[in-house]
Amino acid sequence: MTDRDALIEAINQHAVFHGDFTLVSGKHASYYVDLRRVSLDHRSAPLIGRVMVDLIHDIPDIFAVGGLTMGADPIAAAILHQGAAAGYDYNAFVVRKAPKDHGRGRQVEGPDLTGKRVIVVEDTSTTGGSPLKAAAAVERAGGIVVAVAVVVDRHTGAKEAVEAAGYEYRAAIPVEELDV
């Protein structure tokens, strides 16, 4: 079984829920993919890291990966660790929903991204709003966003929104491959 197959199995077993859900976008759905159930699991997090490293490894000169807290945080950490194990020098960053009102007042935490090529990551994408918000903050901080990479794409407009904003869009698992 490949890492991708094992990840799909883990998502199906632990992160797919059926019912009536309101998504962060405000849209309603008959299923919910709660990737934190696998991205914060000691067995599945390494799978996510390896699958995502496989997804992005061909993009040249990537300095860091990260995105809007909280969905992106464990994804970025998994990529950082599994990337290091595979010989890649990916750093990670976190984008706060709003700049801090104390200390240095930063919205983007982690290494200095000024002039650096980065990939914005996300766990599950519906409209593309979260990765686009993260990309805007990263660019304000001086980073160069070259792509958006998501673990699960719901195929509900995120790809189109991200590409319309000028970024390459990559998804590891289309929702159609899950038991939704």
* Assigned CATH for 48-177: 3.40.50.2020
pLDDT band at 128 (very low <50, low <70, confident <90, very high): very high
Residue 103 scores a pLDDT above 90: no
**Segment holding 68, helix H or strand E:** strand 64-68
Q: Would you place residue 24 in the very low, low, confident or very high pLDDT band (cuts 50, 70, 90)? A: confident
Quote the pLDDT of residue 106. 83
DSSP 7-54: HHHHHHHHTEEEEEEE-TTS-EEEEEE-THHHHTSTTTHHHHHHHHHH
Q: What pLDDT, on the 0 to 100 scale, is given for residue 109?
A: 96
Q: Which helix (H) or strand (E) holds 6?
A: helix 3-14
Calculate what percentage of the chain has a pLDDT beyond 90. Answer: 89
Q: Coil, helix or strand for 159? A: helix
* Mean pLDDT along residues 138-162: 97
CA dist 92 and 113 (Å) reads 10
Lowest mean pLDDT among 102-111, 125-134, 159-168: 102-111
Q: Residue 145 in contact with residue 170, Cβ under 8 Å?
A: no
Is pLDDT of 25 > 80?
no
Residue 120: pLDDT above 90?
yes
Mean pLDDT of 19-44: 91
Cα 165 from Cα 7, distance rounded (Å): 29
In this predicted model, which residue has the larger pLDDT, 48 or 106?
A: 48
Give the pLDDT confidence score for residue 28 in this predicted structure: 87
Supply the mean pLDDT for the chain.
94
Q: Is the pLDDT of residue 166 over 70?
A: yes
Report residue 40's pLDDT band, with 50, 70 and 90 as the boundaries: very high
